[in-house]
Chain A
């Protein structure tokens, strides 16, 4: 049956049609990047190209596959649920939604008492922002420059304007961007008391996981309190035990007013997202419960997947695994780094949230390509291509960690040679440098930057966005 629905004479032909019918630019981008990946089978932390090539997945789509691809327990729960449920009717109270809401509240940082469901992270962010605006009766939203909170209507305006201006969706009058790790700038943005919320990823993923400076998030929360703004913690990527705590924000002792989760919450089996809201901010749910509607928001199959995922993630054993894996990979990576200190210049790590810094403006692209060759799939940070996002799974075994480090060591060494010919400040020879300007200053120096538009239909977009 599947063969009748999906049939291509060859991978090349399939890619042609992908260009033709789906997304010409994205399809081409990966060909040009040396990552001609079309994922077919997937299991645990392995994904397989249609040609059979096996890759260890340390991208995990930002934590979507924290528990591995097709986690058998989550798959079994969803399969069982399909004998009884479907997406459900979003207007009515639902068994699955209520159970999940309660489970989320029970495991949440203190003070979060209500849950609103969406179908994806972006929608959840929009719900969070709307909720904050309703609660504060203010309109302005503050986010960090180079933030990424999704591409829906409001979320897109919190992020880099590369993605909003293209669609005429930027709203500079309502959305303020401040540099990361700069409390003075944060205070300047809040001082006018016209800010509904500061939205903040606990560790900004797409920016290459720069770590919040000691006291930065805590200070931001205090400023929010002082100036009457809500603190929205975007835990879409940092949540769900990746840092050794269910929600990374609790490592900072912060009780956010709103917390957003998506991606990994439903184990990659059925989409759902959730916004956890404090009682004080949740007024609209009592005033007009129909105010935000979404047919697929809180789809019941997604809720079942999420219940199972949350139950697994909260087992004390899993937390222990995260500690072990973070320790072993951290030490292994530091060992590799010590061999190439000029090239592998830094490791940003909080548990299983890792950004690997390389000494070339496009460094992570070289590494990504070599990792792919050596059977590892990890993605560069679009907003800081020096940095490779390295996001290993929660259930890795000692053996697979050792294999991953072996592969990484060889790939990092090979990428160093590749970059060597391109340095200093040169562009990577075999890779398209689209999406960033070669040699552009690092993100700390340059909070927002756009690529020069390129001309011609063969290269239509002005930025390459990789999640």
Chain B
């Protein structure tokens, strides 16, 4: 990694309560997000990408979820375990935009009311002006009129712009975009991605971009994490990974490139294990892996360094370089 890290996660894991036991959903892993960069997470649906993002913002209800590990933001420890102390981070240091923009807005409130929420008296006029400005920056047509609209009156693309504006109002340094374009059609997808790239260039915004779509990730990100069944299975700079994917899962992902499709990514035969599903203690990808052998069933493999900053979680990685 060249630049300085804005966010560092160490041994971060999430488990879900099931009666008296905890079922792992995201396995312990490390992660770093470069300041001003765009870090991508890619993986099939249900592999724990959204879980990981929510963990960074401390959004897990401690009664149902158990979060382990540390997160540092700008060198400062983030109290992801303490919901009330996270309020100072959320929205101000890091923020997030969600996959389905329609359900992210309160259906009873206008877009403007969302921007003015929590404002009293004289602040309101100022905040309203700021909001219109932000909407304008998002290339929103007629921002004044949009402020008066209810969420259901706007298109998905307009709502996504409004959500980006709303999330950026608190001037966060990091924006987590969880499948920001999955619910949109392809021309609008491209506009939103262009907008995010522009915000990164002009405002130095750091991005954590989550997608199951390789086109999106390869176009935007400069560093990629590949997730499978709650584990990071491969990571590295985008060009290294694209040219020389090592993990059979990554290879499979890269081979099946759905061009801006809305559907679930269908890679290879089979499906990822469900959470809590018994994988026999071996590599969770082994049942689908074309190169699996008896050794793969004996214990999960570890993330190993394959190259300078290229890591892979496959015990046979040495024999698998190149497509």
The answer to whether A binds B is no
Chain A interface residues (CB < 8 Å from chain B): none
Binding site for A on B (CB under 8 A): none
